[in-house]
Structure 1
Amino acid sequence: MDAMFLMNSLWVMLGAILVIFMQGGFILLEAGSTRMKNAGHIAGKTIFTFGLASLVFWAVGYGFIFGENANFFIGLSDFFYSGAQAEGMGLSTSVFFLFQLAFAGISITIALGGFAERAKLSVYLIFTVLFSAVVYPVVAHWIWGGGWLAEHGKQDFAGSTVVHLTGAMAALAATILLKPRIGKFNKDGSANSIQGHNQVFTALGVIVLWIGWFGFNAGSTVAVDDGFFGFVALNTNLAAGAGAVAALIISWMVLGKSDIPTMLNGALAGLVAITASCAFVETWASVVIGFIAGILVFYSARFFEKRKIDDPIYALSVHGVAGVWGTLSTGFFATPELATVGLPGLFYGGGFTQLGVQLMGVVTSGAFAFVVSFVILAIMKKFMSGLRVTEEEEVMGLDISEHGSYGYPEVFASKDQNVSL
């Protein structure tokens, strides 16, 4: 067996492990950003839904994305994936499958962030199956599986659109149909701050995600022979740093205090934004892309809150708005030397062509993910007597109402204790 085949397989397997480990980062991030009465629920449902999404991806998701006999819309083979080695592939097909499965798992986790602190467990179950079967695979096929956007040269190296925007649009559909958490907005429309219970958890979640992102972006090279993965990793790290710094500065300037959650979201926004462009832009551009993402995440969070959209873990701002910006950024900054897909960007003599392709990809992919997710959830809402737990269960907390035990049992040991913290 060829040595390069083995090295590529090992590298992508490491990338898959890092991306799957990002689920741990999301557990810490989401649990830390919400209230302690829901922490156990958040941790448990993340593991459960990733496992469920894995089975759906094995059954149909991979085939819909990469299957042969494909058309512009969807793939049509390789269902119930057998692990057989594909001819001409420079690494183990099974490893490639696991790598792609990890990405699908991240997208559904992002989507479910829009359900936080108020959705029934059964809603998580059914939506995970349907999103992993008919929403994510379609967008992934369009861009990565040889679909119609791929034919137009859509640039999305590691998934600012495929993974992040798709998940965020599903989260938006959920937040609209679920409506805000109890106590989030007053009758006059003003918002109350429902702070997360553990900023240390949130910060630790961000650093776990930051590290995992090297598997996300650099792993997407799926090869080690030219060492290009190092350049991709460098761009990834620079954008994350720039996003964190920009978000800290803008919050300090506007609020008079350097807001820690904003800074953490800025780092994530920088990572999301560079995910599309990390292989197509120079290092200085990665800093600009990350810096702009850090500013955008601050203002977009305020924008959504003013419109009474309750987004507990900022999925719409971090993954949606930053995902849009990151996808569009290649239309500005992609260089002739690095644009192995599509054309150079506007600032490198490519005109508006690639920017137009990027915009078309954002609009169509985002609209598809939102509309299909909204329809799925609206049908579920009608036939499941609602998507949301009762008011009593929400005040009690999903740990005890959905699972019968608390993530922090010592804190809530007494039944007489007020658990609406």
Structure 2
Amino acid sequence: MTKLTVTRIKSIKAPGRYVDGAGLMLNVTKSGSKSWVLRVQHHGRRRDFGLGSERDVTLSEARDEARRLCRMVRKGLDPLAERRKEASRNKTFRMAAVDYHSAHYKTWKNGKHRDQWINTLRSYAFPRIGDMTLDVIDGPMIVDVLSPIWLQKPETARRVKQRIGAVLDFAHARGWRASEAPMRAVAKGLPSQPKKTGRFKAMPYADVPRFVTKLREIESFGALALEALILTACRSGEIRGACWDEIDLDARLWTIPAGRMKAGRSHAIPLSAQALDLFKRAAALRIADTQLVFPGQKRGKALSDMTLLKILRDQGEPYTVHGFRSSFRDWAAECSDQPGEVAEAALAHTVPNAVEAAYRRTDFLERRRGLMNDWGYYVGQR
């Protein structure tokens, strides 16, 4: 059979496969595009490998690549696997980090976390190891990335460390790197960080009624949102994203969908008389073109977390917004006769014991209704 020539290749118009020899073929589609294909027998199975477009790969180059791949097959190697290895040798940490971020981006509910995840690597890791190939990154290099911020910015440094490890483990799983991240060695190469309590600074529950009284003097969606957060003991993101279609004023129930909950499960919050009154006040101020109960200044956008914190700071309070959940939990422990699991359910905490979680079928809704009524009455004291 006559081998292909450059002249003949240019003249071919009809779709089909045109054999050059030794398994190399020119594939012509109905649209007229032309590409190189190599057909080989590997472990008794016929396999085709694309060698690129005829516009980008010359006849001579296609033959050279076909001979190279055929030599691999004769040695018992898998050309596809070898190609992946070759590609991985040029894969940089920056490329792998972007791939990891793209693969996981949609699974992260918190939009702020989505952006922060890659931005911390851009700020601290990319300048040092971003353009290095994955196979050369070792423990000492990671230590060099973390050392300048390990003691000065401990929380940020820990996040950067975790994210570098995640990218390298991801690269190992994809076959781009021979080993997992050497994070155990990295930990040995860094000094101990100052200990932290790990708790959000919470207002003593005895001071909450006084604060809520002051809060009601402020006329803003931010103040309403902060009061709602206190009365429902929910998280900041849950209250700021609250929508009218989640709230049933007649049933006195607010049901937050699973997609907006930290644990990924829907959560029903019984509304006390005080909470119900608050949502009615918010309804009187409802903006027609948004479902948001507590809209921000930008049209269609929710309030920012900083809006709630600023209210606390403007009132001279040194506490955190999240700390009000601790205020509620302390009050429930000391002033309520409901058991701890009911208070934990009110906070939408998951059951830490896997066996208990598997057998528990109740969310204590009716018992939580009584608990939230008592809390609302307590908070509403003048």
Q: Normalised by the size of structure 1, how large is the TM-score? A: 0.22
Flag the structure with larger Rg.
Answer: 2
Q: Whose helix proportion is higher, 1 or 2?
A: 1
Q: Whose strand proportion is higher, 1 or 2?
A: 2
Greater RCO, 1 or 2 (C-alpha within 8 Å, sep 6+): 1
